[in-house]
């Protein structure tokens, strides 16, 4: 019998630390992305070929999307948000491969990403406004909004985590059920839908992270 989709399978231990399947899958994704990045960027020229043009198009499109959201220079956020989007796309679509479980379908991965976004929001907010200025922004527009703003910081991070985890996990769960009940080729349309859902969820997670960071930067207030 297959293990529960809500739990992570432990593959081995490194000392006291248990290494689960999502972690290994993540390492594989990291390896692929790093090697792919290295291979496509080692011979960049001023006169790009088709492959370099596509790569630059992807990077500049991500930058443009970030800039549209945060309304300021997107370069400081490119590494975080661009990596977030690329990793989410890779992770969400990795479920298409036979025998691979998407890491984002596990709660720990989604929580880790949400926690990183949560930390990044405050880091960039403090860096942009200063500690007091950033903390003061929680009391705006009225002091009475302070509890609501603080709670919203937690709840929106929680919603990020649950949304990603729920969508990916549910897709995987349904596909597993259909495979178990109907046969090998029946879940193909569902897998195509899962690809679309994975892309949409990656986009939504990244954009929401950009919105949260942009709000912490206060660019809308300055505008």
Partner 1 sequence: MHFDWSTFALQTVNFAVLVWLLHRFLYRPVLRMVDARRAEIDRQYAEAGKCEAQAKDRLNAVEAEQAGIAAERSAALKEAKAQAEQAAAERRVQADHEADAFLENARKTLAAERRQALVEARRAALDLGAEIAGRLLAEVPVKLRAEAWIERIEQYLAGLPRPEKDALIQQSAGCAPVKVITASKLPAEVEGDWRSRLIRQLCDKVLVDFGVDPALVAGAELHLPNAVLRFSWQSALAAMRAEIEADGYAG
Stretch that binds partner 1, among 18-26, 94-102, 204-212, 214-222 (CB under 8 A): 18-26
From 30-38, 152-160, 191-199, 211-219, span contacting partner 1 (CB under 8 A): 30-38
Classify each residue of 183-192 as buried b or exposed e, where b means 16 or more C-beta atoms within 10 Å of its C-beta.
eeeebeebee
**Is 59 a residue that touches partner 1 (CB under 8 A)?**
yes
User: Which residue, 69 or 81, is less far from partner 1 as judged by CB?
Assistant: 81
Ramachandran angles phi, psi of 4, nearest 5°: -65, 140
- Supply 11's token pair: 């593959």
Nearest to partner 1 of 69, 77 (CB atom): 77
Tell me if 114 sits within 8 A of 123, measured CB to CB: no
60 binds partner 1 (CB under 8 A): yes
CB of residue 2 vs partner 1: minimum separation in angstroms? Answer: 16
Residue closest to 94 by CA, chosen among 176, 188, 168, 167: 168
- Of the residues 51, 75, 127, 140, which one makes contact with partner 1 according to CB under 8 A: 75
- The yes or no reply on residue 95 touching partner 1 (CB under 8 A) is no
The answer to whether the beta carbons of residues 208 and 66 sit under 8 Å apart is no
One residue of 67, 71, 83, 122 binding partner 1 per CB under 8 A:
83
Neighbours of 181 (CB within 10 A): 9
**Backbone conformation region of residue 215, classed left if phi is above 0, alpha if psi is from -120 to 50, else beta:** alpha
Beta bridge partners of 19: 12
How many Cβ atoms sit within 10 Å of the Cβ of residue 205?
25
Given 65, 66, 70, 87, the residue binding partner 1 (CB under 8 A)? 87
The answer to whether 38 contacts partner 1 (rule: CB under 8 A) is yes
Chain residues in the site for partner 1 (CB under 8 A): 6-8, 17-20, 22-23, 26-27, 30, 33-34, 37-38, 41-42, 44-46, 48, 52, 55-56, 59-60, 75, 78-80, 82-84, 86-87, 103, 106-109, 111-113, 115-116
């Amino acid at each position: 019998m297959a293990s529960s989709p809500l739990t992570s399978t432990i593959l081995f231990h490194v000392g006291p630390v248990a290494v689960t399947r999502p972690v290994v899958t993540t390492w594989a994704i990291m390896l692929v992305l790093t090697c792919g990045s290295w291979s496509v960027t080692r011979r960049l020229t001023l006169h790009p070929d088709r492959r370099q043009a596509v790569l630059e198009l992807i990077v500049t499109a991500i930058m443009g999307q970030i800039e549209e959201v945060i309304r300021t220079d997107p370069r400081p956020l490119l590494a975080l948000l661009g990596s977030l989007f690329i990793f989410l796309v890779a992770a969400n679509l990795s479920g298409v491969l036979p025998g691979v479980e998407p890491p984002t379908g596990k709660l720990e991965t989604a929580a880790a990403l949400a926690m990183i976004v949560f930390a990044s929001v405050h880091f960039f907010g403090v860096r942009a406004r200063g500690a007091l200025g950033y903390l003061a922004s929680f009391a705006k527009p009225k002091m009475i909004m302070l509890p609501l703003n603080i709670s919203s910081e937690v709840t929106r991070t929680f919603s990020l985590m649950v949304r990603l985890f729920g969508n990916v996990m549910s897709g995987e769960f349904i596909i597993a059920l259909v495979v178990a009940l109907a046969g090998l080729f029946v879940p193909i349309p569902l897998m195509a839908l899962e690809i679309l859902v994975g892309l949409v969820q990656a986009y939504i997670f990244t954009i929401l992270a950009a919105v949260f960071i942009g709000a912490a930067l206060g660019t809308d207030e300055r505008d």
